[in-house]
Amino acid sequence: MRIDIITVSPELIRSPFEHSIVKRAIDKGLTEVYFHNLHEYGLGNYRQIDDTQFGGGAGMVMMIEPIDACISKLQAERTYDEIIYMTPDAKTLNQSTANTLSLQENLIILTGHYKGVDQRVRDKFITKEISIGDYVLSGGELAAAVLCDSIIRLIPGVLGDETSALTDSFQDNLLSPPVYTRPSEYKGLKVPEVLLSGNFPKIDTWRSEKAMERTQQIRPDLLDEPL
């Protein structure tokens, strides 16, 4: 998979890709991530990328020309499955979306900034808009890093145990059950006996019951969503 991230602040987003699971995926050649500084496509001597709003109002708006130039250059080199815009006024990222995107080959992610992008960018180029929550960040860089992490970890070969991602929260519209490790008892706090029994069918049943119980208590809304 190749991911091209268009950003006003490349230095802000690099760090999450230089550590842990995502870095290992890049080092293994399972994914490629490229950062494109929008200022390099800016207008005039000052590389302008934003301007005031038509109709007045506070906040600057990212201009269409630099974004068009960057996206058009990338599209001339390869075909992209999705061009994604990170913005708070969009559908919220969920596991189903991450699963679907992890199957794609080439993605462009445009990170918003200031008051957002000229609507014509969204109308002409964007194929999918994603929010990571009902709040506003200073820019879309951190949101893009969250999206990429959720996608890359699902690529076959990235996680050490191929089944690990399949048991994550939200994969079956359920939260994950409790997990434990050694020691089996710590300051009077004991691991449930069933997990020490070696009876794996019984353990699976216990985990399913706890996942359902947790979901009902914390996120009952998930149970109403289609799989």
Q: What is the pTM of this model?
A: 0.89
pLDDT-above-70 percentage for the chain: 95
pLDDT given at position 169 = 58
Listed residues 152, 181, 216: the one ending a domain: 152
Residue 67 predicted with pLDDT over 70? yes
Residue 6 predicted with pLDDT over 90? yes
Q: In this structure, what CATH number is given to the domain that contains residue 10? A: 3.40.1280.10
Print the domain residue range for 211: 169-224
pLDDT given at position 165 = 63
**How buried is 13 (Cβ within 10 angstroms: 0-12 exposed, 13-18 middle, 19+ buried)?**
buried
Phi, psi of 147 (to 5 degrees): -60, -50
Is 124 found in the same domain as 189?
A: no
In a domain, 83, yes or no: yes
Is 203 found in the same domain as 131?
A: no
Number of domains in the chain: 2
pLDDT given at position 160 = 72
Is 140 found in the same domain as 189?
A: no
Report how far residue 211's alpha carbon sits from residue 198's, in angstroms, rounded to the nearest whole number. Answer: 20
In a domain, 29, yes or no: yes
Is 133 found in the same domain as 217?
A: no
Is 66 found in the same domain as 36?
A: yes
**pLDDT digits over 95-114, tens only?**
999 999 999 999 999 999 88
Q: Strand 185-186 to strand 189-190: parallel, antiparallel, or no bridges (unpaired)? A: antiparallel
**pLDDT digits over 199-226, tens only?**
999 999 999 999 999 999 999 999 987 7
In a domain, 159, yes or no: no
Is 35 found in the same domain as 117?
A: yes
pLDDT given at position 167 = 58
Is 72 found in the same domain as 33?
A: yes
Is 80 found in the same domain as 44?
A: yes
pLDDT given at position 224 = 87
Phi, psi of 16 (to 5 degrees): -60, -20
